Amino acid sequence: MAARYETALIRLIIIALLFGAWEFAPRADLVNARLLPPASEVFTVFFGLIQDPGFHGHLATTLQQTLTAFLIAVPVGALLGILIAENRFAGEVFKPLVFFVFSIPKSIFLPMFILAFGISFWQKVAFGVFSTIFIVMMTAFAAVASVRSDHIRVARSYGANLRQIIARVYLPSMTPVLLEAVRLAMIFNFTGILLAEMYASRAGVGNLIGTWGRGFQIPQIMAGIVTVAGLSILFNELVRWFERRCEHWRGDR
């Protein structure tokens, strides 16, 4: 127990040291302060940013697109994945295809989405879904595989009906893996939306960061990065916390 707190403490110290170096190095002229503004300056910009109604507008655009794409990609991907994996023949036909598409770079198709949809809300959402859905399907395959046939056999032999088998065997077995799908999907999805915004758009955090980049507004870029990083880590750790709560029975983890 004590060791765990100690680890957390050392980790905190490492992080503090990093931030310290970030603050100190530009101030001591070890690095060019124009290229790497001290942490305090970046955080001043950051606090200004999160109080700025204009920025809220951009943030809202990004979050709307991200959430919409997420809410489409995860259920659709999970359902497709489960259906494919549950049917032996469909699995044999489609699994290698999904596997292949999953393993090819998808960002490079972004221009085709612009050519098809123009620069719009739905173009970003479509690209977000496209970047995400395959990882969800892959994870859904793994989720189905994690349901052990002997558990089903035991449930059946004790007289469980289909509904009971789904509720008592399938869901508990698949939940941890599906949560992993949610976590990975968000990473892929957020990346996709931000890239689409940086590439061509009129609004959104990605667009802002891109614009700042072209204008060499380094404190602003870094404040933007802090915002995005904070949001993604927050979501990620939230899902992870939830995963851990669901996984207590998986002793081997």
Range 196-199, long-range pairs (CB < 8 A, 24+ positions): 196/110, 196/113, 196/123, 196/124, 196/127, 196/128, 197/62, 197/65, 197/124, 199/110, 199/114
> Would you give the binding string for other proteins spanning residues 19-58, x where CB under 8 A is met?
----------------x-----------------------
- Contact yes or no for 243/175 (Cβ under 8 A): no
Cβ atoms within 10 Å of 74's Cβ, excluding its own: 22
* Nearest Cα residue to 203 out of 42, 46, 52, 63: 63
Residues 108-137 that bind other proteins (CB under 8 A): 108-112, 114-116, 131, 135
> Would you give the binding string for other proteins spanning residues 155-194, x where CB under 8 A is met?
----------------------------xx-xxx-xxx-x
Q: Does 105 bind other proteins (CB under 8 A)?
A: yes
Helices (H), 87-170: 88-103, 110-117, 121-145, 149-157, 162-165
Figure out which of the listed residues 72, 203, 213, 247 binds other proteins, where binding follows CB under 8 A: 213
Cβ atoms within 10 Å of 222's Cβ, excluding its own: 21
Q: Does 241 bind other proteins (CB under 8 A)?
A: no
Instruction: Select from 7-15, 19-27, 68-76, 164-172 the region that touches other proteins (CB under 8 A).
Output: 7-15
Give min distance, CB of 194 to other proteins, in A: 5
Q: Does 86 bind other proteins (CB under 8 A)?
A: no
Residue with tokens 């941890």: 176
* Nearest Cα residue to 135 out of 90, 190, 68: 190
The footprint of other proteins (CB under 8 A) covers 7, 10-11, 14-15, 35, 89, 92-94, 96-97, 99, 102-112, 114-116, 131, 135, 138, 141-142, 183-184, 186-188, 190-192, 194-195, 198-199, 206, 209-210, 212-214, 216, 218, 221-222, 224-225, 228-229, 232-233, 235-237
